Chain A
Amino acid sequence: MNPSSNLHRSILLVEDNPLDIDLTLRAFKKQGLLNPVEVARDGEEAVSWIARWEAGEPMPLIVLMDLKLPKIGGLEVLRRFKNQPKLKLIPIVVLTSSSEDRDITTAYEYGANSYIVKPVDFDKFISVASEIELYWLGTTILPR
């Protein structure tokens, strides 16, 4: 069981599409997500968080990562996150439209903890959000 102190720890959402951001947030809210959500709007912004965390800012509980990002692609961001000694413990859930084999394989090669395909159907999307919450924030014991 995760400590209740986790509740104030943030979730980093790396996503460029504003509608997707909004829908994702709404989906999670519908499931009763209480944690604050930080958003990185592109690959560069995502990478800049690395510096901030190194500087001492508190690290997120989990990262939800889309692969289609401007400036620096999601896979590259993933790779950098996972290469960082301090950050590599943070679970990264790849949440993307692509169901291509090579994306899946590469993501896992780079150290993704999970790969979920974003459904188009909103109802399905809501249940996916719920499953993510349940699994990653509930069932899974996160590193301290």
Chain B
Amino acid sequence: MAEKPTYQELALRVKELESERSQAHEKENYSKKIPEVPPSGIDLGSLINVDEIQSIMDDFHSVTGMVTAILDLNGKVIEATGWRDICTKFHRINPQTSRNCTESDLFLARNLKAGEYVDYKCKNGLSDVVTPLYIGAKHFGNIFTGQFFYDDERIDEERFVKQAEKYGFDKEAYLEAFWKIPRHSHETVRHLMNFLVKFTTYISRISLSNIQLEQEIQERQKAENAQKESAAMLQALIRAIPDLVWLKDRQGVYLFCNSRFENFFGATENDIVGKTDYDFLETGLADFFRYHDKLVLENAKPSKNEEEIIFATDGHREILETIRTPLYNSSGEIASVLGISRDITERKHIENELKKYRTHLEEMVKNRTKALEAKNKELETFTYSVSHDLKAPLRGIDGYSRLLEEEYADKLDAEGILFLKNVRQSTTQMNQLIEDLLAYSRMERRDIQPVSIDLRSMIDMLISQRAHDIEVRHIKILVKLPFQKVNSDSETLRQVLGNYLDNAVKFACRGDSAIIEVGGRKNDDTWTLWVKDNGIGFDPQYHNRIFEIFQRLHRAEEFPGTGIGLAIARKAIERIGGHAWAESSLGNGATFFIDIPKTKTIPYKEKLADEPK
């Protein structure tokens, strides 16, 4: 015989069976009004008030005299009534007989069937019945009755006498107890079990519903609290925002506003809610606000505008940028206008300052430019009039020395005549200098106008202007240009190429083999042009000096010239972003180059190379 199992062990076994059987038990029979999964962690004891049930069942027992027991799955007794003396005083106490009890307990547990009750004759001779208690699909406990004889069975008193002897019971007491054992009909037992099952199930179900309801309420409460918390946090947030925040309904009545807004109106939110702008502001401003509110309500689109307001709390002014947004209610209609206003006073101030500075700067630049232009004009006039004013006396000097030469020739000796010649020569020189200076200044004053230039025509014209000297010197001119047109300043090119040609002619080789070549090359960003001669050339160490103003490499009587021409040429070319340079070796001619940048043509009239002078 197995060791006497405890109720705990029984309960364990019951649990094992439960998992085997739970699939087989239909929920339909037992869980119509109960949610499928009752909350976990609930045992029968928490569903049924043990004391109350015990009391009820005690009364029940008084009426019926029947034995009942309700146990949860852990073996905890929910109620137990009417247990027979024979069991409590004898069978359950004696180790051997109690083992029989356990065995029958085990059997019952092992053979639980939902909706059915299991019948068992215990080894001690009495009947036991059990049925499981299900709430929903969950097995919560078991309901017992027992310790009786069926009325249709033969009761063997002898057996009990023998038992008393066997186990050493007080025979008299034992038999007294024996006689107390009731006899029930099968029907009675059936009714009893049904009653117990329904009763317990019903109570449990109600209890379970209550518990579930309570839990639901708790959860809802939690959710409400969470919502309240988040609403409170949101409100706190809005209150704390340094912008003005408010909410108005369609009629312009305030529904809500934050602390900063309170400062504007000089009232608390409580005072403001339920009122309109007209209650706090002068009509003009209130009209202005209402107008913008209405715009948003009608257009169903957010609006942005600037407004200047005075704060009621301390009277200070602020410029605000207000954004109004329509808010929709749950039916999808625009129910309110939300406004948020940001203080842009500082920003506006800075914008104004910036505008002022910019205007001031523009003003300054305009004035400076005017001043510069005036200065320029002054210089221009100065240079111009000086040059011309210098010419008149020169004319005088030359004129009178000539007259002297002519009309007083008989009174002058050779030396005297020579003196006069020298005087005249000087005036010629000075005149040329003045002309060159004039040309130099004229070049400085001019605007640069890039146009499309027909190079070939320009060069042809320059050559024809020097035709006389070219012919006299028997110079051959070759023009080899790989490109026809360039975009540049026409006057500059004319001046420089003219000057280069002049030099080439001046320093051309004597005799009949003089050749001047005009050539060019197209580069990525520039055009290169050159005038090459086969004349006397120059010492390459002076290649830079010759471009300096008034620097000459020859004595005046050898070759005429003021020493300005090349300086003008270089200056002119550099003004349009180009370069001028020269290469040579003594006796082997010289090549004078210019580099001009490729510029975009301004949509200007196309200037032809041959213009009237």
Contact = CB atoms under 8 A, between A and B. Distances in A.
Contacts of B391: 97, 118, 120
B396 A20 contact: yes
Interface stretch (A46-54, A121-129, A134-142): A121-129
B392 A17 contact: yes
B181 interface: no
Given A19-B400, A26-B403, A120 B395 contact: yes
B439 to A, nearest CB: 10
B388 A68 contact: yes
B384 A19 contact: no
Contacts, number: 52
Contact of B395 (A26, A98, A99, A125): A125
Contact of B399 (A68, A97, A98, A122): A122
Contact of B388 (A23, A26, A98, A121): A98
B388 A19 contact: no
B427 interface: yes
Given A17-B392, A120-B394, A120-B427, A23 B384 contact: no
A23 B392 contact: no
A57 interface: no
A99 to B, nearest CB: 8
Interface in A1-55: 17, 19-20, 23, 26
Nearest to A18: B396
Contacts of A17: 392, 396
Contacts of B399: 19, 23, 26, 122, 125
Contacts of A23: 395-396, 399-400, 403
B431 A100 contact: no
Interface string A95-121: 001111000000000000000001111
Contacts of B92: none
A1 B147 CA distance: 175
B402 A122 contact: yes
Contacts of B395: 19-20, 23, 97, 118-120, 122, 125
Contacts of A123: 402
B201 to A, nearest CB: 123
Given A26-B403, A120-B398, A122-B399, A97 B431 contact: no
Nearest to B430: A120
Contacts of B431: 120-121
Q: Tell which of B393, B398, B399, B424 has the most Cβ of chain A within 10 Å.
A: B399
B376 interface: no
Contacts of B398: 120-122
Contacts of A119: 395
Contacts of A99: 438
A97 to B, nearest CB: 5
Contact of A19 (B396, B401, B402, B438): B396
Interface in B370-411: 384, 388, 391-396, 398-403
A99 B437 CA distance: 13
A23 B398 CA distance: 10
B428 interface: yes
Interface in B545-583: none
Q: Classify chain A: how many residues form its interface, as a range.
A: 10 to 19
Nearest to A126: B402
Nearest to B391: A97
Nearest to B402: A122
A33 B176 CA distance: 189
B77 to A, nearest CB: 130
A100 B384 contact: yes
B539 to A, nearest CB: 34
A119 B392 CA distance: 9
Interface in B128-142: none
A67 B424 CA distance: 26
B374 to A, nearest CB: 18
Contacts of A122: 395, 398-399, 401-403, 424
Contacts of B384: 98, 100
A122 B388 CA distance: 16
B83 to A, nearest CB: 141
A19 B398 CA distance: 11
A100 B424 CA distance: 25
B388 A97 contact: yes
Interface in B417-439: 424, 427-428, 431, 438
Nearest to B395: A120
A79 to B, nearest CB: 20
Contacts of A19: 392-393, 395-396, 399-400
A117 to B, nearest CB: 10
A97 B393 CA distance: 11
Contacts of A120: 391, 394-395, 398, 427-428, 431
A23 B391 CA distance: 14
A138 B464 CA distance: 31
Contacts of B388: 68, 97-98
Contacts of B401: 122
Contacts of B403: 23, 26, 122
Contacts of A68: 388
A121 B434 CA distance: 13
Given A120-B427, A121-B428, A20 B402 contact: no
B392 A20 contact: yes
A60 B396 CA distance: 27
Q: Tell which of A26, A100, A122 has the most Cβ of chain B within 10 Å.
A: A122
Contacts of A20: 392, 395-396
A120 B434 CA distance: 11
A26 B396 CA distance: 12
A19 B403 CA distance: 12
Contacts of A97: 388, 391-392, 395
Nearest to A98: B388
Q: Tell which of B388, B393, B403, B428 has the most Cβ of chain A within 10 Å.
A: B388
B392 to A, nearest CB: 5
B386 to A, nearest CB: 12
A100 B446 CA distance: 13
A118 B399 CA distance: 12
13 contacts: A17-B396, A19-B392, A26-B403, A97-B391, A119-B395, A120-B394, A120-B398, A121-B424, A121-B428, A122-B401, A122-B402, A122-B403, A125-B399
Given A19-B399, A118-B395, A121-B428, 17 more contacts: A17-B396, A19-B400, A20-B396, A23-B399, A23-B403, A26-B403, A97-B395, A99-B438, A100-B384, A118-B391, A120-B394, A120-B428, A120-B431, A121-B424, A121-B431, A122-B403, A122-B424
